[in-house]
Amino acid sequence: MDDLTKISAEVEKKTGVKTSPKAIEDIISAIKTSENFWQIVRFSQRPIPTVAETLKILKRLRYVDFKDDKIIPQEKLNQKYSNILPYSKELICPQCEGKGININSLGILEDFLEIHKYRPKPIQEYDQGNIDPASTVGRVALMKLRNDISGKKIIILGDDDLVGIALGLTMLPQDVLVLDIDKRLIDFTNKIAQEKKLPVRAEVFDLRKKLPDSLKGKFDVLVTDPPEAKKPFKIFIEKGIWSLKGPGSAGYIGMTLIDSSVSKWAELQKFVIDAGAVITDIIRDFNKYEIWEYHTKTLAWKLAPVKSQFDQPWYSSAIVRLELVKKPKVKNEILKEKDIYVDIESTTT
């Protein structure tokens, strides 16, 4: 058994998160890229418990050292794993940042940036953490590219990112309905929609409850960033698919590799397919998150083996597009659990 296999087995045993030698390889690559723990998470795109435990083991084996809240690779690491290269940042397009989308061509970025300045700040109570304005506009640009905006009825389940407003600024949708538990976001969205006469309406709604029967099968497109603990993810996605018209309807969801392992992704993707949809697009690292103020109160901060500064963005998610290919097999269920956001992999809430 080689070292990477031994390390991955130990990490999996201690964290309960399925871990492969490839995961350890990606973490070593990230260590060679940055001394900052959060950037190592960013570049490796592995769950925080996995990254934290791997670093502890590498320190014990004297492959790395911890100094002044930095992760310092030792010569032993470079000699042993000379074939593992640093993260190739230079391969990412500097204009689109890997999105593959020209967000400026949409024509709404300037207006959205001005609106975004006055948005309510994210709070931990609702597991809020918003993506940056360029990522929100990028989502809308991708939706337009896939013919999922013009003349469409769109439902948004939770809208920390103000996607509803960005969609409205295009003046292309027939109707956009935003549902969110946070009255601050709902009031802000309705205020902007009224001022700018956007085809957007927003309502306060706790998504743990059943959606109103009047919404069943009424929408062409779904947008949501579901909690990544398994049960709430499934229930949130089921609700969204339940609200769609049928074959040809689309969904856009955010999924991270920081709060979900690839093994969990496999389970979640199977659920999507079993529900009657197919995954047509996955663009990794599409959504770049702004740093949220409650970061030091999360389990992720507690797990971090060193308390590196987080003065630059590090958390990101993939954009995933779904398309229904048959009549969906889903329910509109109640989510009973009080704490719906955390499992052994999801630690940033």
DSSP string, 248-295: T-EEEEEE-SSSS-HHHHHHHHHHHHHTTEEEEEEEEEEEEBPPPTTG
Task: Tell me the C-alpha distance between 55 and 66, whole Å.
Answer: 9
Give residue 290's pLDDT.
84
Say yes or no to pLDDT of 337 above 70: no
- A 10 A CB-CB count for 128 gives 21
Query: What would the two tokens of residue 14 be?
Result: 């201690």
- Given a contact cutoff of 8 angstroms between Cβ atoms, the answer to whether 62 and 76 are in contact is yes
- A 10 A CB-CB count for 234 gives 20
- Average of pLDDT values for 67-80? 95
Please give the residue that has the higher pLDDT: either 337 or 95.
95
The residue behind tokens 């979640």 is: 268
**CB within 8 A of 293, min separation 6: which ones?**
121, 122
Confidence of residue 87 (pLDDT cuts 50, 70, 90): very high
Give residue 340's pLDDT.
62
**CB within 8 A of 87, min separation 6: which ones?**
29, 30, 32, 33, 43
**Which domains can be identified in the chain, with CATH numbers?**
3-87 (1.10.10.10), 103-324 (3.40.50.150)
Say yes or no to pLDDT of 126 above 70: no
- Given a contact cutoff of 8 angstroms between Cβ atoms, the answer to whether 202 and 180 are in contact is yes
Element (H, E) at 5: helix 3-15
Burial class (CB in 10 A: 0-12, 13-18, 19+), 95: exposed
Query: What would the two tokens of residue 172 be?
Result: 């292309």
DSSP string, 299-319: HHHHH-SS-----S---EEEE
Poorest-pLDDT segment among 92-106, 130-144, 293-307: 293-307
Sheet holding 277-288, edge to edge: 200-204, 175-180, 153-157, 221-224, 250-255, 316-324, 277-288
Task: Tell me the C-alpha distance between 254 and 324, whole Å.
Answer: 17
Confidence of residue 127 (pLDDT cuts 50, 70, 90): low
Give residue 120's pLDDT.
83
